[in-house]
Amino acid sequence: MTSLSLVSEARISDESLTVQIALLEHEGFRLTYAGPPGGEPRTPPSRTPRMPASPDLPAGLGLMAQRGQGYGGAGLLDAVNLTTGQAINPRPAGLIKAAPDKLLLQASDEASGLKAEVAISIEAGAIRCRTRLVNEGSGRLAIGRCASLLWPLPDWASTIRANYGSWAREGFEAVHELDAGAYERISRLGRTGFDGPPAFTLTDHGTQRAAGRAMRVGLEWSGSHRLRVERFPNGAAECCVEVLFEPGEMVLEPGGIFDAPAAFVLLSEEGLDGMTALSHRYARARNRPAERHKESVAVARPVHFNTWEARYFDFDEESLKALALDAAALGAERFVLDDGWFKGRRNDHTSLGDWVPDPDRFPEGLAPLIAHVHALGMRFGLWVEPEMVSRESALYRAHPEWVLGYPDPDAPTGRQQFVLDLSNEKVRDYLFDSLSALLSPGGIDYLKWDCNRELYPAEMSGKQRAHMQVEGLYALWRRLRDAFPHVEIESCASGGGRMDFGVLPFVSRFWASDATDALDRIRINRAAMSHLPHEMIGAHVGSSPNHITGRTFSMAFRALVALFGHFGLELDPVQLTAEERQTLIHAIGIFKRFRGLIHEGRITWQDERDPALDVTLIGKDDELLLRVLRTDTATRPLNPRIALHGLDRNALYSVSEILLETGAVQELGTFSGTALAWTGLSADPRQPNRGRLFHLRKTQKAKTGDTKNSESAR
Which residues carry out catalysis?
450, 514
Chain centroid offset of residue 663 CA: 33
Q: Decide: 223 and 470 in contact? Cβ < 8 Å.
A: yes
Q: What is the 3-state secondary structure (H, E, C) of 654-680?
A: EEEEECCCCCCEEEEEEEEHHHHHHCC
Query: What string of DSSP letters covers 363-407?
Result: TT-SHHHHHHHHHTT-EEEEEE-TTEEESBSHHHHH-GGGBTTTT
Spatial separation of the C-alpha atoms in residues 192 and 493, rounded to whole Å: 9
Please state, in angstroms and as integers, the Cα–Cα distance from residue 107 to each residue in 150, 259, 450, 566, 686, following that order: 14, 15, 41, 46, 62
Element (H, E) at 471: helix 466-483
The one-letter amino acid at 550: G
Spatial separation of the C-alpha atoms in residues 603 and 273, rounded to whole Å: 8
Spatial separation of the C-alpha atoms in residues 502 and 258, rounded to whole Å: 17
Chain centroid offset of residue 560 CA: 22
Half-sphere CA count of 649, side-chain side, radius 13 A: 7
653, β-bridge pairs: 671, 698
The C-alpha R_g of the chain, in whole angstroms, comes to: 27
Helix pair 555-563, 518-529: axis angle to 10 deg: 10
β-strands 665-672, 537-542 pairing: unpaired
Cis amide leading into 545 (omega within 30): yes
Element (H, E) at 135: strand 126-135
Spatial separation of the C-alpha atoms in residues 92 and 534, rounded to whole Å: 42
Dihedral sign of CA atoms 217, 219, 222, 227 in order: negative
Dihedral sign of CA atoms 129, 133, 134, 137 in order: positive
Dihedral sign of CA atoms 657, 658, 661, 662 in order: positive
Nearest 5°: CA angle at 611, between 608 and 659?
Answer: 75
Please state, in angstroms and as integers, the Cα–Cα distance from residue 62 to each residue in 24, 49, 113, 187, 225, following that order: 10, 15, 22, 26, 21
Q: Decide: 82 and 139 in contact? Cβ < 8 Å.
A: yes
Q: Decide: 146 and 260 in contact? Cβ < 8 Å.
A: yes
Instruction: Detail the DSSP E strand segments found in 211-364.
Output: 214-219, 225-231, 237-243, 251-252, 257-259, 263-268, 304-306, 334-337
The one-letter amino acid at 472: G
Q: What are phi and psi of 320, to 5 degrees?
A: -70, -35
Half-sphere CA count of 196, side-chain side, radius 13 A: 27
Q: Decide: 297 and 508 in contact? Cβ < 8 Å.
A: yes
Spatial separation of the C-alpha atoms in residues 502 and 506, rounded to whole Å: 9
β-strands 446-450, 379-384 pairing: parallel
Spatial separation of the C-alpha atoms in residues 327 and 319, rounded to whole Å: 12
Spatial separation of the C-alpha atoms in residues 377 and 627, rounded to whole Å: 30
Residue 493, SS3 per DSSP: strand
